[in-house]
A and B are shown apart, each in its own frame.
Chain A
Amino acid sequence: MTDAAYNFAYLDEQTKRMIRRAILKGVAIPGYQVPFASREMPMPYGWGTGGVQVTAACLTPADTLKVIDQGADDTTNAVSIRRFFQRTAGVAATERTAEASVIQTRHRIPETPLTEGQILVYQVPIPEPLRFLEPRETETRRMHALEDYGLMHVKLYEDIARNGAISTAYAYPVKVEGRYVMDPSPVPKFDNPKLESPAIQLFGAGREQRIYAIPPYTRVVSLDFEDHPFEASKADHACDLCGAEESYLDEVITDDAGGRIFVCSDTDFCAGRRAGGHRGALAAEDVA
């Protein structure tokens, strides 16, 4: 049931055209941040306004939408954004990764491999991978133009010198198709290998007024050094609910005496495994 007081998917058509043009240029120049005239949305900046605008520009009534935050469909902000689109676009919603045609995400890439025909929309807080090395937009723009990424390599190298390892654990910078260094949004570096995908990946930063994209099958390389190769690491545990060894885990503190368990951050993935009969160390036998 849509809310007739608003246009389909909330945004007016003029705004959608502007966003759609930016998305297309983003797809044509993988990894390049296209400036766009981000609108003031009825939700706070920093809470997914960029992702919401990109999703709104992409949705058709035939879509099935999934919204996740930290990998989970039931986190409050994911619930809030899903409701927004159910109300303004009347689209079907799902929690199943495989059933979704559009997935809006914050901080995770689903464990279930994405396929052609799916679009993954990322909410991005700070789209500029060089921002914490050089705060000035005029400077970082020049660095991208000249493909001058020395500062980033120096930073990563200093990490190694100081800590023996690259100390970036999320929002780990990547190079797209050998040209632009890109911020994959604050996904854990565990998710970086999934950035090479058959799906279309779109990134929206509302407050910072940038849209960028990774087309399907685009080369995405996590920055590293020969003697310190990139490693997509995760906690050295299996999921205590479904037993998965290869999924990214949330740590849950169970008491104040050091008790903790690890569970899949991707709730759909975990539920699907349990439905298929997989059991972790702490799962009750009757959990479906």
Chain B
Amino acid sequence: MRTEALTGGFADAPVEAAQVFRATLEALARPGRIATVGGAEAPAPVSGAAAVLLLTLCDHETPLFLAPGHDGPEVRDWVSFHTGAPLVGREEATFALGHWPALAPLGAYRIGTPDYPDRSVSLIVEMEALAARGARLTGPGIETEAFLSLPETEAFRRNNARFPLGWDCFFTCGQSLAALPRSTRVEEA
């Protein structure tokens, strides 16, 4: 194991994880809002926001898929040391991390079952840019309408159409974090 795998975790996990979770909760509960999070660093190409999401939400109970581009020995070592999350394929993943094209095919992920729609993947989508413009969002968490620079709209529209089944997304870029639950209705702006 490389030494960089051992560094980059939270300095004060209980407090920092709590702060990241609150930002994450606000982001998911208010789709389109962009939060700033930080406190940890993972090896490239993992963004700071994705790193703290992994530290806050993942452990040995959450199988993780690293998409091509993110899957490499350094990231693997870091993830294993800091979270203990088992690394798996798309089909078994509770979390998946990668750039949007590399996360495909989306049909491979778990979307829950009618009895247990919560048994579904959460995608952590690494973005080149993240801004409150682009696709128009409406639904729970949004008073009137919101906008977010989604990588596309069609996949999210289809994901919403099968509600309550589906996956949920976090978008990360540097220290920025946004989210889009399956409940959000997405249209071209």
Contact = CB atoms under 8 A, between A and B. Distances in A.
Nearest to A12: B14
Given A27-B181, A177-B139, A9 B28 contact: no
21 contacts: A8-B18, A9-B18, A20-B25, A21-B62, A24-B25, A24-B168, A27-B25, A27-B181, A28-B181, A29-B118, A29-B181, A29-B183, A30-B140, A32-B118, A32-B164, A58-B22, A59-B18, A61-B15, A116-B30, A200-B29, A216-B143
A7 B14 contact: yes
Given A177-B183, A215-B29, A145 B114 contact: yes
Contacts of B17: 13, 16-17
Interface residues of A, number: 45
B139 A14 contact: no
Interface of A: 7-9, 13-14, 16-18, 20-30, 32, 34-35, 57-61, 116, 119, 141-142, 145-146, 177, 179-180, 198, 200, 213-219
Nearest to B165: A29
Nearest to A198: B143
Interface in B42-89: 56-59, 61-62
Contacts of B59: 14, 17
Nearest to A119: B25
Contact of A60 (B22, B122, B142, B182): B22
Contacts of B21: 16, 20, 57-58
Q: Closest 5 CB pairs between A and B?
A: A28-B181, A145-B114, A8-B14, A25-B118, A215-B141
Nearest to A24: B28
Contacts of B108: none
Given A17-B57, A18-B61, A217 B140 contact: yes
Interface residues of B, number: 40
A25 B168 contact: yes
Interface in B1-50: 13-15, 17-19, 21-22, 24-26, 28-30
Interface in B68-118: 94, 113-118
Contact of A32 (B28, B117, B122, B142): B117
B122 A24 contact: yes
Contacts of B26: 200
Nearest to A145: B114
A30 B117 CA distance: 11
A21 B22 CA distance: 12
B15 to A, nearest CB: 6
Given A17-B59, A21-B57, A58-B22, A217 B141 contact: yes
A216 B115 CA distance: 25
A8 B19 CA distance: 12
Nearest to A26: B118
A196 to B, nearest CB: 11
Given A17-B17, A17-B61, 20 more contacts: A7-B14, A9-B14, A13-B17, A17-B56, A20-B24, A20-B25, A21-B94, A24-B24, A29-B181, A32-B164, A35-B118, A59-B18, A116-B30, A177-B140, A179-B164, A198-B143, A200-B25, A213-B29, A215-B30, A215-B140
Contacts of A22: 118
Contacts of A25: 118, 120, 168
Nearest to A57: B21
A208 B15 CA distance: 28
B164 A60 contact: no
Contacts of A18: 61
Contacts of B19: 60
A135 B14 CA distance: 39
Contacts of A200: 25-26, 29
Nearest to A138: B115
B13 A13 contact: yes
A264 to B, nearest CB: 29
A116 B140 CA distance: 14
Considering residues A16, A18, A60, A198, which has the most beta carbons from chain B within 10 angstroms of its beta carbon?
A60
Considering residues A18, A30, A34, A141, which has the most beta carbons from chain B within 10 angstroms of its beta carbon?
A30
Contacts of A146: 114
Contact of B29 (A9, A32, A216): A216
B54 to A, nearest CB: 11
